[in-house]
Every structure is written in structure tokens, then in C-alpha cells.
Amino acid sequence: NAGVTQTPKFQVLKTGQSMTLQCAQDMNHEYMSWYRQDPGMGLRLIHYSVGAGITDQGEVPNGYNVSRSTTEDFPLRLLSAAPSQTSVYFCASRPPGGEAFFGQGTRLTVV
Amino acid sequence: AQSVTQLGSHVSVSEGALVLLRCNYSSSVPPYLFWYVQYPNQGLQLLLKYTTGATLVKGINGFEAEFKKSETSFHLTKPSAHMSDAAEYFCAVSGPGNTGKLIFGQGTTLQVKP
């Protein structure tokens, strides 16, 4: 069982570069979310989706875009990377009302 | 809207002592509540969850939590701490049904001293 798969695991970007963090799940979950984890701030919700074609903003959406064309995939795009976006990013999927299953995370450094 | 407050960013207990990690939530709808654990350099793992029904919920590794609506709390307890319990713990809240948001607290780091 693959569960939630995130790629890449590590990434270094220069300020101003763009990139896409990939997330795929094979559990047919309706809900998918992206979080960033920073020391002392817990996990903060960036964007989330309740189904294919439906996305919404979370707590800290600025500087990030998402789309959900299929149930399985939920990529996160950084449009113009900034040092403030240095963080660990987690993708999660879950059924309605159920527990979230997390990927192993992407450690992103913006220099 | 939902929000979560975890009281105490660091908690230190001796091995064998009671573990108590505090979580208070705010929700405009009946909440679903979760506790997750994160070991260093790993993802998050579910400890337990409350959706409906019995307010005392038992989870893995001997942890349990009680939903108290009147206090808007969902504190996590374990009668006797083990060295392997040292980790970061997160409380999370979502609404029922078609509510996609799952909001996390700031986390509590549990240290277990020998």
C-alpha cells in the first residue's frame, strides 16, 4: 500500500524560482490538503480540496496555488519562491469525517 | 470556523509518571477531534479520534482522551509514561460531514526523563 506519496523529499530553490510539489494518494479519498510545518507553529493549512475540481484556501494560502484535476493528485505550486517559504510541507488525504493520512514530507529550502 | 489551542509547547515528565497534554478547541459546529503523534523526521500518525458517541476515547500505545463539550476540551492522557513516548503531539479539529478543513494546534513536545 503506497498511501500518500510526496515528491521530492528535499529541494533547494533560489529566490524567485517556481516549482511544483507533487502529491498522490491511492486510497480514493475525497479530501486532500497541504500543510506547512514550522517550529513552534504546528501544521498550518495552505490549501485543501473536497473533491476533483474543488479547492479552497486554508490559513496561509499566499504564494501558493493548487489544482485538483483527479481524485488521486493534488499538486502544490510555488509561484515565486521566497525565503519565508522555507519549511517542511506535508500532503494529507482523508475520507469525510475520517482520519488524515500523511505523506513523508518535503523539506524545502529557499536561498 | 475551527481553531485549536494546545496549552504548553513543552511538557516534561519522568518515566512512569502521568502524561497530560492539554487541548482546547473552538468550533461553530459539532467537532470531530483528533490527536496525532510525530516522531523525529517522520510524518504524522493517528493516536485516537472522537467523532460521535462515547466521549472517552482510547487510542494506541495506551493513550486516551476525553471530549468535554462544556469545557471545549479534548485532553490527552496516559497513566504511565514510557521513554518511547517522547515525541511531538498535535491536536486537530474538523467539522462533521462535508467540511474539508482539518485544523491543527501548535503542537506539544513531550520529554520523558529516566
Rounded Cα distance, B98 and B38, in Å: 27
pLDDT over 90 for what percent of chain A?
89
Rounded Cα distance, A16 and B104, in Å: 29
Q: A 31-50 residues with CB below 8 A of B?
A: 31, 33, 35, 40-45, 48-50
Contact at CB, B102 and A92, closer than 8 angstroms: yes
Contact at CB, B34 and A48, closer than 8 angstroms: no
Q: What is the pLDDT of residues A39-90, one digit of tens each?
A: 888 999 999 999 999 999 999 999 999 999 999 999 999 999 999 999 999 9
Say which of B49, B100, B106 has its CB closest to residue A56: B100
From chain A, pick out residues whose CB is under 8 angstroms from the CB of B23: none
Contact at CB, A104 and B42, closer than 8 angstroms: yes
Q: Which residues contact A85 (CB under 8 A, 6 or more apart)?
A: A36, A63, A78, A108, A110
pLDDT confidence of residue B21: 98
Cα Dmax for chain B: 45
Confidence of residue B96 (pLDDT cuts 50, 70, 90): low
pLDDT over 90 for what percent of chain B?
74
Q: What is the pLDDT of residues A86-109, one digit of tens each?
A: 999 999 999 988 889 999 999 999
Rounded Cα distance, B5 and A109, in Å: 28
Tell the burial category of B18 from Cβ atoms under 10 Å away from its Cβ (0-12, 13-18, 19+). exposed
pLDDT value at B31 more than 90: no
- Mean pLDDT over residues B44-66, rounded? 93
Q: What is the pLDDT of residues A14-41, one digit of tens each?
A: 999 999 999 999 999 999 999 999 988 8
Confidence of residue B108 (pLDDT cuts 50, 70, 90): very high
pLDDT confidence of residue A53: 94
Mutate to test the interface with A, among B33, B101, B106 (most CBs of A within 10 A): B101
pLDDT confidence of residue B100: 74
pLDDT confidence of residue B97: 57
Rounded Cα distance, B68 and A91, in Å: 30
pLDDT confidence of residue A24: 97
Question: Does A106 contact chain B (CB < 8 Å)?
Answer: no
From chain B, pick out residues whose CB is under 8 angstroms from the CB of A58: 101
Confidence of residue B3 (pLDDT cuts 50, 70, 90): confident
Whether cis (ω within 30° of 0) applies to the bond prior to A39 is: no
Rounded Cα distance, A77 and B54, in Å: 41
pLDDT value at A1 more than 70: no
